[in-house]
Structure 1
Amino acid sequence: MRRISHDLRTLQATRWRWLVLLCLLVSWNAFATSVQATLDRNDVRLGETVTLNLRIDGDANVNTPNLSALDSDFEVLGTSTNSTLNIVNGQQSSELIIGVALRPKHTGDLQIPSLTVAGNPTQPLTLHVDPPDASAAANAGKEVFVDVTANPNHVYVGQQLLYTVRLFFDVNLNSGNLADPQASGVDLRKLGNDVDYESVRNGRRYHVIERRYALIPQRAGPLTIPSIEFQGEATDPTSPNDPGGFFNPGGLFGNTTPVTADSPPVNIDVQAPPPAWGKTTWLPARSLTLSLEGVPSDNKLTVGQPLNLRMVVEATGLSGDALPELSLPTIDGATVYPDQSNTTTHDDGQWLTGHRERSFAIFPQRTGTLTLPQITLTWFDVQTGQKRVATLPAHSFNVVAAGGAPAATSSSTQPAAMSSPTAASSVASSLAASPAATAPSMVWRWVALGSIALWLISMVLFGGLYWRRRSSTLASAHKKTDDSTDSARAQRQAFTDAARGSDLAVQARRLLAWARAERPALRNLGEVAEALASEEQRAAIALLQREQYASVSAQKRIDLAALFAKGFAWRTDDVQADSPLPPLYPFKLD
């Protein structure tokens, strides 16, 4: 009986193990499938369509979910599916996208509730629906027209605005070309991919292709973006020669007629920075963050061991190259070694987001307290119209000596022992009493000679390696100097070409690039002017900046190409600008 009871308990435990394993497998299968819901647009007008994309990763065999929860606010026009299968390094992954075409039934902020797809809930989404466009009457009855909008139409210099281009058509287009917007003194970047949807204007249903651009004005004053032209060919499916005949079954191959459409020009008011802004770098952004990574939680450092920090600045509404260079101030009791900056720019389909980061290695030189001062970065909030300051608080660290380091007063024990006359006499007596110590040994003599020979060979090899490395270093230095000279020559030629044109923004960028090719420590044209000895060149740079940012027209145009034909007239006492390392300084408010 005891054995039977033991077997029953063993069988019961085995069943529990299998049950737990089955639950783990089911849980893993649930986690293996992830679902994400997104909208192709977050803002639409009443009468337009929007696509809800349900992305399923990990399982391509999923049915269309129940969409009845959308009936109160949306009209479901139809669904489509697109599946992909990827095999990378023997690992298989699948993805299924279910597209749901929706048309809002009323205006306002409409909620798309959570949907259950493949056993997993999606996150709720919000869609903003505006009333129909009041200016649509101007395009009533047109088969093809182009509509453009600028948001906002009142900006500061350097501030990004969202420029949207929409092509409306209700004909069968065989081909077409929609040009990009063009404007002088504007940095233009395309955002994301084209969006395809339907819209109703004045009771007529149109197919719409939408493109978005980031426009950044480079100078203050009134800005006009010229009209955008569309040129294409429309196909008439009902051929008068052979409608639905043998050569045109179903009217698929009709005659083509050219179609064109122009958008109205857009006027934008571009303001200069506020007069009270000062000399701080002008950073008009929608949001900006400044962070410092790598600070130890215990605030303890060791002499001679590096503290590796990474400073990151990220701003929405600015590109990465518009952000200032990051640096650390001079730290008492430590040496700072900065790394190269890393700059990137990405977008979410509406706004640019610039990212700049830089790493620093801080080597403490002595024990005690090491303080990293507070660092600030001033920027302008374009949404509120206020000056803001991003701050990194000061950090204090406790620096300790390296482990195992000898004390400053310690010395070798053998010389201390020999300093005693009694000990010295004792050692001498013991050596005299030992015949083996006074008699020369042939074995030890050969060992000594062999050691000397090995030492001489090592010195010869070390000398050869040293001179080889020295020759390689000198050759590399000569090559780097030649590359730097070639870069300065190329930048000089680029500035000379730009100086013959009329684009002030390009002239300013080329002039700064040429100056930095010769003196990398210079950060902006203001520092270039301070490093020059020629009053004519300094005045030319000041006038170039006023014309670019303050919209001030000069009475007489300065020939920049002739003024800088002989190169920069650098000040001979300006030694700091020749340093190849970036400057170490904190950000300041003004």
Structure 2
Amino acid sequence: MVGRLLAAFFGLVLALGATMSARAAEPQLTLEATVEADSPEPYVGEMILLTLRGDYDAFITLERFEGIELPNFTWLQLGRDVWSKGRKNGREYTSVERRLAIYPQKPGTFTIGPFRHRLTVDDGSGRRSETIVVSNAVTLTVRPKPATNGGWWLPARNVAIEDHWDMDTARLADGATATRTVTITAEGQTAAALPPPPKVVAPWLIAFIAPETRTTEITRDGPTGTVRWQWRMRLSKAEPGRLQAFHIPWFDTQSRQMRDVVMKSRRFAYATVTAPEGSSAPIRAWNWLLPLAVGLVLPIGAALNGRRPMPAREILARFRRWLPERDALAMRSARMRGDVKAYRLAAARRLAHHGHAPERHLAEIDAALFRRAPIRAVDLRETDRRLRGLFRRPAEAGTCERQLSPRDTVPQRGR
């Protein structure tokens, strides 16, 4: 009888020891979700950092996060998961950290999570078991985006701009083409969130924009988006002009203030034009030689007309018809040299003088000069022949005055 009692007692002790040993061997697995924002109540479109951190007192052979669903948010993962080893309460732990950048798409109060991490654990004796660790849920309140000038909304931690010109546009060589490169970088936003390029339009300017370049760099602190714009610009007229400044507003999520970056204003002028904007160009030799020649011809005109002197306006008109235009001579010289740029500059001046639109009649040359088409594709001889025919016809209605004839200026005398 005593032997049976002792056997039962030792069996109970062994069972209790095995149970306690099994409980002590159970791994401690925790997964925590936290959010970081620059404000307790961020705005729509503002970046929020979501961190999932797991601490596991176990030997993990396989793992995967189950599908992350974030309705009302767009998101991207900030690099790969980071695994590390550490100690906690004297025990060795395996830790994993995953970071996401999430962007609320509408205002309201939302619950983020819980998230699930599926693990395959080895108990140390070769036996494996699968378990799912569930995180906590986080509640977040999102405010609607505030009203802004122009309606553009760009929340970011920092926005920088680089505005580079490859030459001094205030002193351009004749026919020169300037290249402008603008690079905008936004910390805390992707490249897709950056604005489209502004329209560069002016009546005195020819501008072509190259295809834009957008890139996004991923860091543990969030994405950094970059957009690059490039224009090629040149004057379409000899007169100077000024390209207006362009402002890009953005919201500083750290100071909680609206700011802006500026594409600065820029003056365009040929180096040969030194007069300030709004004033006429300096008097050139041709401008005073012509009146001098007219003054010398006046007596001859009076003698040839017979009984009374011809009006100075009629003599000037006839004198101009006799002499070739300066721009016509420049066009001929450039055509003979095969100089497309010089030909385009002289032709644009002559077209504008006769009341025609240079951009309309010189489109083929502009495409070759500004769109990097082969210049040899431009047939200057054919272009010159077409323009000579255009100059023989009257200018487009309403664009220039018709030349005066003797009947317009000299009243007919009765006989």
The C-alpha deviation readout for 1:470-529, integer Å capped at 9, x for no partner, is xxxxxxxxxxxxxxxxxxxxxxxxxxxxxxxxxxxxxxxxxxxxxxxxxxxxxxxxxxxx
Contact 2:235 2:268 in 1 (8 A): no
Partner of 2:57: 170
Q: C-alpha displacement at 1:237, in angstroms?
A: 1.9
User: Quick check: 2:169–2:266 contact (8 Å CA) kept in 1?
Assistant: no
Q: Does 1:215 align with 2:215?
A: no
**Alignment match, 1:353:** 224
Equivalent residue for 2:132, pick from 260, 264, 268: 260
Cross-structure match for 2:75: 188
Q: Which amino acid aligns with 1:307?
A: A
Aligned-residue offset at 1:221: 0.9
Q: How big is the shift at 1:190?
A: 0.9
Give how far 1:389 is off: 1.4
Deviation at 1:179, TM superposition (A): 2.5
1:132-166 Cα distance to aligned partner (Å, 9 max, x none): xxxxxxxxx96212112111253211111111111
In structure 2, distance between residues paired with 1:310 and 1:335:
16
Q: Which amino acid aligns with 1:267?
A: T
Q: Does the 8 A contact of 1:367 with 1:400 survive in 2? A: no
Picking from 147, 157, 161, the partner of 2:32 is 147
* Pairing 1:10-159 to 2, within 5 Å after superposition: 143-152=28-37, 154-159=41-46
RMSD: 2.7
Q: Which residue of 1 aligns with 2:240?
A: 369
Are the equivalent residues in 2 in contact too, given 1:183–1:224 (CA < 8 A)?
Answer: no
Cross-structure match for 2:161: 290
* C-alpha deviation, 1:358, in angstroms: 1.3
Specify the alignment match of 1:269 in structure 2.
141
1:399 aligns with 2:284: no
* Residues 371 and 397 in structure 1, CA contact (< 8 A), matched pair in contact too: yes
Q: Which residue of 1 aligns with 2:312?
A: none
Distance in 1 (alpha carbons) for counterparts of 2:86 and 2:254: 30
Find 2:124's aligned residue among 237, 244, 253: 237
Shift of 1:284: 0.6
Q: Percent identity?
A: 23
Residues 301 and 399 of structure 1 are in contact (CA less than 8 Å); yes or no, is this contact kept in structure 2?
A: yes
8 Å CA contact retained: 2:27, 2:58: no
Q: Counterpart in 1 of 2:326? A: none
What SS class does the counterpart of residue 156 from structure 1 fall into? Answer: coil
For residues 344-395 of structure 1, give each alpha carbon's deviation from its aligned partner in whole angstroms, at most 9, with x where no partner exists: 1112222111111111111212234331211211111111111111123222
Secondary structure of the residue aligned to 1:192 is coil
Matches of 1:279 and 1:202 in 2, distance apart?
Answer: 56
Contact 1:373 1:393 in 2 (8 A): yes
Q: Secondary structure at the match of 1:193?
A: coil
CA distance in 2, matches of 1:204, 1:268: 34
Q: Which amino acid aligns with 1:283?
A: L
Deviation at 1:398, TM superposition (A): 2.9
SS of residue in 1 equivalent to 2:192: helix
- The residue number in structure 2 matching 1:314 is 185
Uncovered stretches (5+) of structure 1, i.e. residues with no partner: 1-140, 239-253, 411-590
Displacement, 1:331?
2.7
CA contact 1:326–1:357 (8 Å) conserved in 2: no
Give the TM-score normalised by the residue count of structure 1. 0.40
Checking the alignment, whether the CA contact within 8 Å between 1:303 and 1:366 is kept in structure 2 is no
Residue 194 of structure 1: CA displacement?
Answer: 1.9
Q: Is residue 252 of structure 2 the alignment partner of residue 381 of structure 1?
A: yes
Q: Please give the secondary structure, in 2, of the residue aligned with 1:305.
A: coil
Q: For 1:234, what is the secondary structure of its paired residue? A: strand
1:280 CA displacement: 2.6
TM-score w.r.t. length of structure 2: 0.56
Amino acid across the alignment from 1:325: P
Pick closer, same or farther for the CA change 1:201–1:237 going to 2, 3 Å: closer
* CA displacement at 1:257 relative to structure 2: 1.8
Q: Is the 8 A contact 1:158 1:218 kept in 2?
A: yes
CA apart distance, 1:282: 0.6
How far apart, CA to CA, are the structure 1 residues paired with 2:198 and 2:42?
A: 30
For 1:280, the equivalent position in structure 2 comes to 151
Shift of the alpha carbon at 1:225?
Answer: 1.4
Count of aligned pairs between the two proteins? 252
| Offset of residue 297 of structure 1 | 4.6
Structure 1 position 188, deviation (Å)? 1.4
The letter for the 1-side match of 2:76 is: R
